[in-house]
Amino acid sequence: MKVIMLGLLNRIILTILISIITTLSFADDQHSHGANTNYLNTDWSFEGIFGTFDRASLQRGYQVYQEVCSGCHSVQHLSYRNLSEKGGPEFSKEEAKAIAAQFEVEDGPNNDGEMFMRPARLSDKFVNPYPNVEASAAANGGAYPPDMSVLAKARAGGADYLYSLLLGYEEAPEGFELDDGVYYNKYMPGNKIKMSEPILDGIVEYSDGTQTSKAQIAKDVTTFLVWASEPHLESQHRMGFKAILYLIILLTLVYMSKQKVWSRFGASKDQEDEETYDKVEKVVTKYEGEDPKTFK
Ligand code: HEC
């Protein structure tokens, strides 16, 4: 019974430890797996439990979003304030204020009961390119450019999918029918997409001297979109890591105290054995050399 209990306890502790280690090594892997498509391979700095965003890439990614994508796609959940927060692109407060001030938002009503336009502030949400979904669809041949707040999370394949999609434009194969305003893309489900290729070599100019190949631009904007859909990813990673560390310490303590508690039972058994052995030995020495027939 004792042996079975001990084995069971050890096994439970071992199982918990193994599951922690597995969680550690596979955490966040949903970014790299997903749909059964062979996505292009890239190293993302934000993957895994220790993952953090590449600050410079996030800043460039914001620039790409702003200069290329924001004409059609909104990022409703982001405020300009987020651009200067920890774990994000970490623009300085002044830079974020200057960015916000480039946009106009409607405010009001004023004392005359009228709405008015004013420059955006840090607390304002990112300005939408269109007043509503219908307007955006109308401007894009009936296709609605999805909001980018959660795009990286909403699509199976996450970052790898977005990155591959942006680089996945090709000539349609022979005999593949495409209507006007529809383009062939290797990674889009069904291979038809109503967005013309948004990223081309040199479509933006980086002030930090980074080369502006299509792949680099796609990587930067994808990094920005992953952050946009998970602005608190880094602090979540830190929390997760702390929780796991705590669990490991707790388990070690449990294991040590278990050893201690059960060792008492072990000791008393050894002691019993030793006492029995002593008794037998005494008897043996006592009768040593005597004829067994004389035993009482
Ligand atoms: C001219 C307008 C326009 C611009 C500029 C534009 N898009 Fe799009 N985008 C669209 C439309 C329209 C769709 C919807 C396509 C569809 O459903 O077929 C779309 C869809 C997408 C999708 C979703 C694909 C899916 O899985 O449904 C992604 C990702 C995307 N765009 C990324 C970008 C990025 C990144 C940029 C900037 C580098 C960008 N877009 C610039 C119009 C645009």
Confidence of residue 2 (pLDDT cuts 50, 70, 90): low
From 153, 140, 159, 141, select the one nearest 45 (Cα to Cα): 159
- The single-letter DSSP state of residue 39 is P
Cα–Cα distance for residue pair 279/263, rounded to 1 Å: 24
Q: Is the pTM of this model over 0.75?
A: yes
Instruction: Specify the pLDDT at position 35.
Output: 37
Instruction: Specify the pLDDT at position 57.
Output: 97
Instruction: Specify the pLDDT at position 36.
Output: 40
* pLDDT at 265 > cutoff 80: no
Helix crossing, 214-229 with 55-64: angle to 10°?
100
Q: How far is the centre of ligand 1, averaged over its atoms, from the C-alpha of 97 (Å)? A: 27
Judge if the beta carbon of residue 219 lies within 6 A of ligand 1. Answer: no
Q: How far is the centre of ligand 1, averaged over its atoms, from the C-alpha of 195 (Å)? A: 5
Specify the pairing of strand 116-119 against strand 104-107.
antiparallel
* pLDDT at 77 > cutoff 70: yes
Judge if the beta carbon of residue 198 lies within 6 A of ligand 1. Answer: yes
From 77, 54, 38, select the one nearest 157 (Cα to Cα): 38
Instruction: Kindly report the length of the chain.
Output: 296
Nearest residue by C-alpha to atom 36 in ligand 1: 69
Neighbours of 196 (CB within 10 A): 9
Q: How far is the centre of ligand 1, averaged over its atoms, from the C-alpha of 137 (Å)? A: 12
- Render pLDDT for 172-200 as a digit per residue (tens, 0 to 9): 999 999 998 999 999 999 999 999 999 99
Nearest residue by C-alpha to atom 9 in ligand 1: 145
Chain centre to alpha carbon of residue 82: 18
Beta strands in 151-208 (DSSP E): 183-184, 192-193
Q: How far is the centre of ligand 1, averaged over its atoms, from the C-alpha of 51 (Å)? A: 27
Q: Is the peptide bond before 198 cis (omega within 30 degrees of 0)?
A: no
Which atom in ligand 1 lies closest to the alpha carbon of residue 136? 12
Instruction: Specify the pLDDT at position 69.
Output: 97
